[in-house]
Structure 1
Amino acid sequence: MRTRNTAFPLFAVLGWGVMFPVLASALTRVDALNLTTARYVLATAVLLALLLAREGVAALGTGRRGVEVLLLGGLGFAGFNTLTNLALGYAAPQQIALFASTVPVVTQLVRWARDGVRPRPALFGLSLVALVGVGLVITRGRLDGLGQFGVGGLLMIGAVLGWAFYTHGASRFPEWSALRYTTLTAVAGTLAMLAASAVADLTGLQHAPAAADLVAVAPQLAYAVLVAAVLAVLAWNTGVRRLGPADAALFMNLVPVTTFAVQTVRGYRPGAVELVGAALTIAALVAANLVTRTRARSATVTAPAPDAVVDRPAVVEPVAVVGR
């Protein structure tokens, strides 16, 4: 069962790894904020249709958690995606993808700060090992390569923090399906992006795209909407609920490796150090999943003392997922 559950975050991160080069090519025709807004207007429309068809109008209600939904949607959708698209204007896709691999470490620190759950030493250590591997992939073993991130790096620090809080937030809605959480936070994030785009267009910070520009980037937009925004985010939130935020976040280490592979197919030739880094990242991810599986089996044999502090997923019950 756990092996099957890992397919959800795996699908999500592979989809996002391909997304960086795809979006980078679209930014030559459409400004970053307008591209993000157009993407999520379309994606949110799809999600709303799916939610209404599956759970009905009642699922659109947030109860007394409207403010929390708005905040998480702003951080996860508006914050992460807008800052990422802006960062792609300052650095190469594979460099930006490096920062996505810090999500496992940051998510564990967010859980520690908000819930008092200390990161498991083995899990935290393997996250750092995977990050070292990603660093080798991107910098080709040269530490001075990190200095070229500049503004793009600063933007991605904000993006990663936003996504870490969003990932942690998914585990705080156990009574909601993954589809409902994804849709309602997407609505909140899209409203924030629409407001920001309108201000940016009116003040001249960016320019509203012409119809010809949107047609030119239609293939990239279709991938970014259907795969990266709808299917990948649904798969991600399902994985977070079934595996827990800390374990699911480990898969983010594969985002830059996927981006690197796409760039290689497009003509980039990797060196030996980069190949070693990719192998190290994958090995650390596999080891981390073996560690968590072993721990889960041990927990079923030996129950913890009533007052023991156990680092476990905030939600362990399976949830509904579209198409399953």
Structure 2
Amino acid sequence: MTSSRLWPAVLLLLITTWSWGGMFPVAKPMLDILDPFFMTLIRFSLTALGLLLILFCVEGRKAFSFEGRLLKLLFLGTLGFACFNLLAFNGLVHSKPEHGAVIMATQPMIAVLLTWVMRGLKPGAFTLGTILVAFAGVFLVITGGDIERAFGGGKIIWDLLFFVGAMFWVAYTLGAQSFHTWSPLRYTAITAGLGCFSIALISFGLTAAGMLSIPDWNTLVELRWSLAYLVIPAGIMGVLFWNIGIKKLGPINGVLFINFVPVSAFTIGVVQGRSFSAEEVIGAILVMSALIANNLYVRARMKRSTGDDDQSQRNNEQPANRATARPDNA
């Protein structure tokens, strides 16, 4: 594929990761006014509606069939949209946006570990080493390198909500492999809609129990532009652009762009006047460096494996060619 055809995909992935990096800084002040449950419900109700509308226009009514797998889709949608977002935004109430962005960037590493646990596919020693480096970076970011703070019952519990939420999102992403005949748009739109059903049950259940209150119209009007950001750039556009970019560049290249999520979050934090400790910056650099190093390692292994296969094929072809070749004096 020529570079002129690659650049649009690169641009789409850059837009996506920068918009995702801005999601937590934008949402943080909203949580002083709107609880994370109804913020998540409003955001994904509108996002799911937009995705389902696009799905109808692109693939038609037939794409709305559950094909007898409603419960599995509901389970995956609950993991990806209800569990992930409710945990992440509840954690954000008491944590920093940049912490969430760094933890989200470890998703490729979490995917490796979950694949190992669920399918027995043990990663290589180098990959395990980069995972340890990445998690050490996360440790620095959320604790400042203070071990007493890490295990002293402080705010780290809220950062752990981000991490558990990221695990749920990775499990949801891996679940897409069970629907390999579906387009990414169809899988995302259907599970987003079903995930919203779970979010609504949780939110209105807590409201009925007196633990939450439904936001009034004035609150929504006050937050309209922030909600629009969460729904359009960080929601509908983000999902679509990510799927298109990954399809064009492939997952090995595309996953590198997840590094721009913490870069975006820290950049926005600086613009907003926040300061960061040396440990936070070093930790973020460790996470991104580990991701890049493992990506280069996987790329080199794939290239070497392809080269070995090509050489083996040539070796197998040579005897056959000699056997079928006509003698010079024939």
TM-score, length basis structure 1: 0.82
Taking the aligned partners of 2:127 and 2:88, their CA distance within structure 1 comes to 26
CA contact (8 A) 1:76 1:166 kept: yes
Matches within 5 A, 1:237-316: 237=243, 243-244=250-251, 252=258, 254-303=260-309
Among candidates 77, 81, 85, match of residue 81 of structure 1? 85
Whether 2:185 is the aligned partner of 1:199: answer no
| Equivalent residue number for residue 180 of structure 1 | 186
CA offsets per residue over residues 4-24 of structure 1, 9 Å max, x none?
A: 577766554432221111111
Moved more, 83-92 or 7-16: 7-16
Taking the aligned partners of 1:2 and 1:169, their CA distance within structure 2 comes to 32
Moved more, 53-62 or 270-279: 270-279
CA contact (8 A) 2:104 2:163 kept: no
CA contact (8 A) 2:131 2:290 kept: yes
Number of residue pairs the alignment of both structures matches: 305
Residue type of the alignment partner of 1:199: G
Taking the aligned partners of 1:197 and 1:238, their CA distance within structure 2 comes to 32
Residue type of the alignment partner of 1:106: I
CA contact (8 A) 2:142 2:159 kept: no
Residue type of the alignment partner of 2:155: F
C-alpha deviation, 1:54, in angstroms: 0.6
Moved more, 20-29 or 148-157: 148-157
Among candidates 163, 176, 184, match of residue 169 of structure 2? 163
Moved more, 138-147 or 33-42: 138-147
| Equivalent residue number for residue 26 of structure 2 | 22
CA RMSD of aligned residues (A): 3.0
C-alpha deviation, 1:62, in angstroms: 1.9
Taking the aligned partners of 1:212 and 1:250, their CA distance within structure 2 comes to 41
Whether 2:133 is the aligned partner of 1:129: answer yes
Cα gap change, 1:113 to 1:285, in 2 (>3 Å)? closer
Taking the aligned partners of 1:125 and 1:253, their CA distance within structure 2 comes to 18
CA offsets per residue over residues 126-171 of structure 1, 9 Å max, x none?
A: 2332333344445444444545324413433431221120121123
Q: Give the SS at the match of 2:170.
A: helix
Moved more, 25-34 or 38-47: 25-34
Bigger Rg, which one: 2
CA contact (8 A) 1:6 1:243 kept: no
Among candidates 66, 70, 75, match of residue 71 of structure 1? 75
| Equivalent residue number for residue 313 of structure 1 | none
Taking the aligned partners of 2:42 and 2:125, their CA distance within structure 1 comes to 42
Among candidates 236, 242, 265, match of residue 230 of structure 1? 236
| Equivalent residue number for residue 52 of structure 1 | 56
Cα gap change, 1:225 to 1:24, in 2 (>3 Å)? same
Cα gap change, 1:280 to 1:84, in 2 (>3 Å)? closer
Moved more, 83-92 or 52-61: 83-92
Moved more, 58-67 or 174-183: 58-67
Cα gap change, 1:276 to 1:114, in 2 (>3 Å)? closer
Residue type of the alignment partner of 1:36: T
Identity within the alignment, %: 34
Q: Give the SS at the match of 1:109.
A: helix
Taking the aligned partners of 1:29 and 1:238, their CA distance within structure 2 comes to 35
CA offsets per residue over residues 250-292 of structure 1, 9 Å max, x none?
A: 6555534432222122112334444444443333333222222
Q: Give the SS at the match of 1:62.
A: coil
CA offsets per residue over residues 27-74 of structure 1, 9 Å max, x none?
A: 122111000000011001110111011110101112132222111100
TM-score, length basis structure 2: 0.80
Structure 2, unmatched stretches of 5+, are 311-330
Q: Give the SS at the match of 2:179.
A: coil
Cα gap change, 1:273 to 1:28, in 2 (>3 Å)? closer
C-alpha deviation, 1:205, in angstroms: 1.0
Taking the aligned partners of 1:62 and 1:121, their CA distance within structure 2 comes to 40
Cα gap change, 1:197 to 1:274, in 2 (>3 Å)? closer
| Equivalent residue number for residue 216 of structure 1 | 222
Residue type of the alignment partner of 1:56: G
C-alpha deviation, 1:223, in angstroms: 0.9
C-alpha deviation, 1:101, in angstroms: 3.7
Q: Which has the higher helix share?
A: 2
C-alpha deviation, 1:300, in angstroms: 2.2
Taking the aligned partners of 1:195 and 1:112, their CA distance within structure 2 comes to 33
Among candidates 192, 196, 207, match of residue 190 of structure 1? 196
